[in-house]
Amino acid sequence: MIKTILITGTSSGIGKATVLAFAKMGWNVAATQRTPEKEQDFSIYPNVKLYALDVTSLESIQHAFTQVQKDFGKIEVVVNNAGYGVDGAFEEMSDEIIEKQFDTNVFGLMRITREAIKLMRPTGGGKIIQISSMGGKITFPLYSIYHATKFAVEGFTESLHYEVAQFNIQLKLVEPGPIVTDFYGRSRQFVKPITTKSYDGFIDKFNTAAEKVMKDAEGPEVVAKTIYKAATDSTNQMRFPVGKPGPLLLILRKLLSDKLYFLMVRKSYNL
């Protein structure tokens, strides 16, 4: 029987690569975007259907889930990929910026997860895959509120898995490291103080080091392969780190003391 997967945030990057990966493997794919009318790359795949979905709107989510059920019936896998990153000096971040970051990365993910549970519980279960980040377990400079959202996703998912296991619903966390996507390009929201130059030197050092890291970053296809692995995994493995040097850094964070880890990060960014 052909399985169906619903994926959020499919207009670019990891989401788009994941749609293509599952389509090529013969799955029915419900690809959701805020503006699906602009999508051009999925038209050659008859097993891919586009749906309008904004994770910050419960009405939009419920409407999309209803339409997907009508078209495909049972949904075996839901991938919570929609999200973006804010970085910069926390002092300059307004409540609006912080709330928007959490509304998408945390509350949006929770809304999708809740609707997926409602759908999967009566139909025998399924898998919900949360696209977290290595930044949900370790931290770097200038990403304070982004890290806060991903730490929240990790804790939320880990706790929730206990209560939904009885319904044969599995929760998986995919934790990408640096990946070449719009996250570091047009989707980046960088906040730089405009009333003080006190952070300028720190920010310059950070940006220089970050550019070097991205030169060796892998493409979103490697994450899509890992998502497929998580979707077809029959074990109780929860976390799937991917994208060098992410898996290595996660191991080092477990092995090193706070003092040594913080020193390593400071040296990496010449701070």
- CA distance linking residue 24 with residue 109, whole number of Å: 26
Would residue 144 show up in a list of annotated catalytic residues for this protein?
A: no
Which residues have a Cβ under 8 Å from the Cβ of 73 and sit 6 or more positions away?
Answer: 4
One-letter-per-residue 3-state SS of the chain: CCCEEEECCCCCHHHHHHHHHHHHCCCEEEEEECCHHHCCCCCCCCCEEEEECCCCCHHHHHHHHHHHHHHHCCCCEEEECCCCCEEECHHHCCHHHHHHHHHHHHHHHHHHHHHHHHHHHHHCCEEEEEECCHHHCCCCCCCHHHHHHHHHHHHHHHHHHHHHHHHCEEEEEEEECCECCHHHCCCCEEECCCCCCCCHHHHHHHHHHHHHHHHCCECCHHHHHHHHHHHCCCCCCCEEEECCCHHHHHHHHHHCCHHHHHHHHHHHCCC
Beta-bridged to residue 77, according to DSSP, are: 5, 127
* Annotated active-site residue in 3, 49, 150, 172: 150
Would residue 261 show up in a list of annotated catalytic residues for this protein?
A: no
For the record, the structure tokens of 136 come out as 């949900």
* Annotated active-site residue in 132, 137, 143, 228: 132
Would residue 150 show up in a list of annotated catalytic residues for this protein?
A: yes
* Annotated active-site residue in 51, 143, 146, 184: 146
> Active-site residue numbers?
132, 146, 150
